[in-house]
Amino acid sequence: MEIAKKIELGKTALGIEFGSTRIKAVLVDDKNAPIAQGSHDWENRHIGNIWSYTLDDIVGGLKHCYATLKADVREKYGVTLTTIGAIGVSAMMHGYMVFDKDNQLLVPFRTWRNNTAAAAGEKLTELFGYHIPARWSVAHLYQAILDREPHVKDIAFQTTLEGYVHWLLTGKKVIGIGEASGMFPVDPVTKQYDGRMLGLFNDLVKGVPFRVEDILPKILLAGEDAGSLTEEGAKLLDPEGDLKAGIPLCPPEGDAGTGMVATNSVKKRTGNVSAGTSVFAMIVLEKELSKPYPEIDLVTTPVGDLVGMVHCNNCTSDLNGWVGIFGEFAALLGVDIPKWKLYDTLYFASEEGDKDCGGLLSYNYVSNEHVTSVEHGRPLFVRKADSNFTLANFMRCHLYSAFGALKVGCDIMLKEEGVKLDRITGHGGLFKTERVGQSYLAAAINAPVTVMKTAGEGGAWGMAILANYRIGRNAGESLEDYLENRVFAGQEGVTVSPDPADVAGFEAFAKRYVEGLPIVREAVKSME
């Protein structure tokens, strides 16, 4: 009854996150405790050699996700959701969405999975002296200019997926600074797009009818006013008409920013690893790195502090495929195994394997992997005739592989640059099975890894916290203090320290992984 009253009074916050395979909504109370959720499963489409989602996919998925949240509230608490304290929208990072002066999408949404802008990213990296990944919005824009795509002359506005959804709900063309830093480099001092690089880019593309700063969304920091839900936005979110307009929204953020919030990792010398369809590590830096690295992106926290990020396109997709195969085999035997039990059984079995996976090797590259310079997805499993081919080693190998490319990038920061870490927190689906993924990550980075009880909530919960921060912080209260004192104080977490034998085993696997990369690159050439 107490929660129902909070819902009726709007003492809540809603986080909505558009992930690669699922749109998730988490409703929290004024203490940031999850009280209801909704979801919608979706998949990207391969349209004309581009990974994309249509606008109908986006809007339809948003509506269905909210409808399932609304139904969950009604079923649990017997009330109809009519108001919310604040709303926040998050999504998979960056990509390319461009609109004309009439707000019409000019080309299909190009997601982070596309590597089509690699050449542009390399040219901009050289020009700026600053690493520009292929998935960043400015790389996609420059590639379209290089390719003389006819739509470029009509661009009036460029944004990202969460920026687009926020725009639909509020009419505001704004973006959180963490996501902005993956659209165009951000100056961590001014908290705005980097002026030097804006000038260099505009000089480079003098033939286009716009300045890049004029088509980018306005940057906002966590806690700032990002507009409110319009009548049109309310009807879009809730076609049944129960939801009222006027609800404040916080700045839209990418899944990297929400991951930092969901793991209390916005303070310097802290970090987090988000492991789902993709995997990325974020470490909040005390100072800039000594030089640009193609494996490391420089982005920011939701309040604008510099972050070293290793982003890998692949993590659990191939692993999920193998678990699905075992599920099909069980079904053939007439055994109905719940999905969670299938995962737990296979993951726990991996702990019985050899520390180095018995000489087995796999690459989980369902799509391209820029960290290891693999241009197209070719999932691959390979072994020698005398490798120790057991189920335990097979599963351990695929779990190690989920962190394989990530380790390549993290080793640069931790070993070459000497970046210091006080704590690192894991979150996302890979950590739902107790201990297993957590201990393997600890072995990969040779550092303690903490998983909170809220690890499975992920970015949608982080976005809900940012929404609550927008309306519930005290004057002058930093995001760091808000998280430390009001969200995570007293929260239970489990920390696993690296086992020296596991560390040595992962190092042996990683050596084999790096040395074997020519195999998967050859598979790209041979399997067109």
Say whether pLDDT at 324 is over 90.
Answer: yes
Upper half-sphere CA count for residue 367 (Cβ side, 13 Å) = 24
Specify the DSSP class assigned to residue 47.
E
**Helix, strand or coil for residue 468?**
helix
Contact 355, 393 (CB under 8 A): no
Q: Which helix (H) or strand (E) holds 145?
A: helix 137-146
Contact 280, 273 (CB under 8 A): yes
* pLDDT band at residue 457 under the 50/70/90 scheme: low
**Weakest mean pLDDT among 30-39, 130-139, 201-210, 422-431:** 422-431
Q: Are strands 97-99 and 157-159 parallel, antiparallel or unpaired?
A: antiparallel
CA atoms of 448 and 502, how far apart (whole Å): 13
Once rounded to an integer, what is the mean pLDDT over residues 463-467? Answer: 98
The CATH number fitting domain 94-159+174-216, selected from 3.40.50.300, 3.30.420.40, 3.30.470.10, 3.40.630.30: 3.30.420.40
More confident residue, 253 or 492: 253
**Helix, strand or coil for residue 202?**
helix
- Best CA proximity match to 81, nearest among 3, 183, 16: 3
Regarding pTM above 0.85, the answer is: no
Token pair 């920091």 is found at 221
Token pair 């505009």 is found at 202
More confident residue, 45 or 153: 153
Tell me: the pLDDT tens digits for 367-420?
A: 989 899 998 999 999 999 999 999 999 999 999 999 999 999 999 999 999 999
Backbone angles phi, psi at 118, to 5 degrees: -60, -40
Query: What are the structure tokens assigned to 400, written together?
Result: 């190690």
Strand runs labelled E in 104-179: 157-159, 174-176
* pLDDT band at residue 277 under the 50/70/90 scheme: confident
Query: What are the structure tokens assigned to 277, written together?
Result: 């369809």
CA atoms of 271 and 248, how far apart (whole Å): 29
What dotted CATH number matches 264-427+510-528? 3.30.420.40
In one-letter notation, the amino acid at residue 21 is T
Contact 263, 188 (CB under 8 A): no
CA atoms of 383 and 516, how far apart (whole Å): 11
Q: Which helix (H) or strand (E) holds 363?
A: strand 361-363
End-to-end Cα distance, the chain? 60
Say whether pLDDT at 456 is over 80.
Answer: no
Tell me: the pLDDT tens digits for 470-516?
A: 999 998 999 999 999 999 987 778 999 999 999 999 999 999 999 99
CATH superfamily of 1-91+222-262+455-497: ATPase, nucleotide binding domain (3.30.420.40)
Q: How many CB atoms lie within 10 A of CB 211?
A: 13
Say whether pLDDT at 113 is over 80.
Answer: no
Query: What are the structure tokens assigned to 466, written together?
Result: 């940012």
Q: Where are the domain boundaries for CATH 3.30.420.40 in the chain? A: 1-91+222-262+455-497, 94-159+174-216, 264-427+510-528
Q: Bridge partners of 299?
A: 307
Say whether pLDDT at 245 is over 60.
Answer: yes
More confident residue, 274 or 527: 527
* pLDDT band at residue 112 under the 50/70/90 scheme: confident
pLDDT at 239: 97
Token pair 């993709």 is found at 278
Once rounded to an integer, what is the mean pLDDT over residues 69-95? Answer: 96
In one-letter notation, the amino acid at residue 45 is R
According to DSSP H, which parts of 52-94 are helical? 55-77
pLDDT at 366: 95
Whole-number Cα distances in Å, 238 to 6, 7, 83, 232, 332? 20, 16, 11, 10, 42
Say whether pLDDT at 86 is over 80.
Answer: yes
Contact 315, 275 (CB under 8 A): yes
Contact 314, 320 (CB under 8 A): no
Once rounded to an integer, what is the mean pLDDT over residues 435-452? Answer: 93
CA atoms of 483 and 475, how far apart (whole Å): 15
CA atoms of 386 and 359, how far apart (whole Å): 8
More confident residue, 259 or 120: 120
pLDDT at 330: 97
Once rounded to an integer, what is the mean pLDDT over residues 347-356? Answer: 98
